[in-house]
A = this chain, B = another copy of it.
């Protein structure tokens, strides 16, 4: 058979299995989303519709990959945590990463209309990478890093865009104004200039989104799946949160 003669090229495929018994985290990131947001008039500093769409896609990922026990999303990024003992796709790095990034991207287009009424004008694109975290400490610190990042960015953007939208500064002037300011300075600007208490801002903006596999209640159980993924906007910085996640290992 003609095929056999060329099949030797398969030996160039390298094994890429991940070290067992470590946490695999796949992070996907929007590519060129500054332009993409502009093209679709996403609201500044946050567009809740776009975040809801991201969360919808994440839920689908958790549905299809029951070994994912938690995911965290903010802005145009999402991180998916597999339980430590997961054997999904024999832990092959490319297979896992590409399947997740593919499903997420396809979902983003598929569900666009359910969340956003402007028609989709250009194709969204994400990249993804898988990183291994060998123990609870570093895995938790990874997700703390992302939630701290969400908080810092959101405080900054909220202040910046209030200066622009309500304060009538240009974007350049507002940026200049915030140079070197600390968190408390931004809180102060928000409060004194715009009567905004940052702590009353919506939690989805301040804390990002956490997707979790939740045990089915009786009613849901009739639809068969044992776990159903749900979105929360909660604090994941404290050890207390993680200690309750006992399905993780």
A interface residues with partner B (beta carbon < 8 Å): 1-3, 5-9, 11-15, 17, 19-22, 28, 31, 60, 93-95, 97-99, 101-110, 120, 123-135, 138, 141-142, 144-145, 148-149, 151-152
Task: Please determine whether A145 and B7 come into contact, CB atoms closer than 8 angstroms.
Answer: yes
- Give complex CA distance A243, B9 in Å: 20
Most chain B C-beta atoms within 10 Å of own C-beta, residue among A13, A123, A144:
A123
Rounded to whole Å, the gap between the CB of A64 and the closest CB of chain B is 8
- Give complex CA distance A1, B186 in Å: 14
Q: List 30 A-B contacts (CB under 8 A).
A: A2-B148, A9-B142, A11-B20, A12-B20, A12-B133, A12-B134, A14-B17, A14-B19, A15-B15, A21-B138, A22-B22, A28-B102, A31-B99, A31-B102, A93-B94, A94-B97, A94-B127, A94-B129, A94-B130, A95-B129, A97-B97, A97-B98, A98-B127, A99-B125, A101-B105, A102-B126, A103-B123, A106-B123, A109-B110, A134-B134
A111 nearest in chain B by CB position: B123
Task: Please determine whether B103 and A106 come into contact, CB atoms closer than 8 angstroms.
Answer: no
Kindly identify which residue among B7, B106, B127 contacts A124, using a CB–CB cutoff of 8 Å: B106
Task: Please determine whether A126 and B144 come into contact, CB atoms closer than 8 angstroms.
Answer: no
- Give complex CA distance A61, B130 in Å: 23
Task: Please determine whether B133 and A135 come into contact, CB atoms closer than 8 angstroms.
Answer: no
Kindly identify which residue among B11, B94, B141 contacts A9, using a CB–CB cutoff of 8 Å: B141
- Give complex CA distance A93, B28 in Å: 14
Residues of B within 8 A of A123 (CB): 60, 103, 106-107, 110
Residues of B within 8 A of A8 (CB): 141
Task: Please determine whether B95 and A12 come into contact, CB atoms closer than 8 angstroms.
Answer: no
Residues of B within 8 A of A108 (CB): 106
Contacts A15-B15, A106-B109, A134-B135; is A148 near B6 (CB within 8 Å)? yes
Task: Please determine whether A13 and B141 come into contact, CB atoms closer than 8 angstroms.
Answer: no
Task: Please determine whether B99 and A127 come into contact, CB atoms closer than 8 angstroms.
Answer: yes
- Give complex CA distance A17, B129 in Å: 13
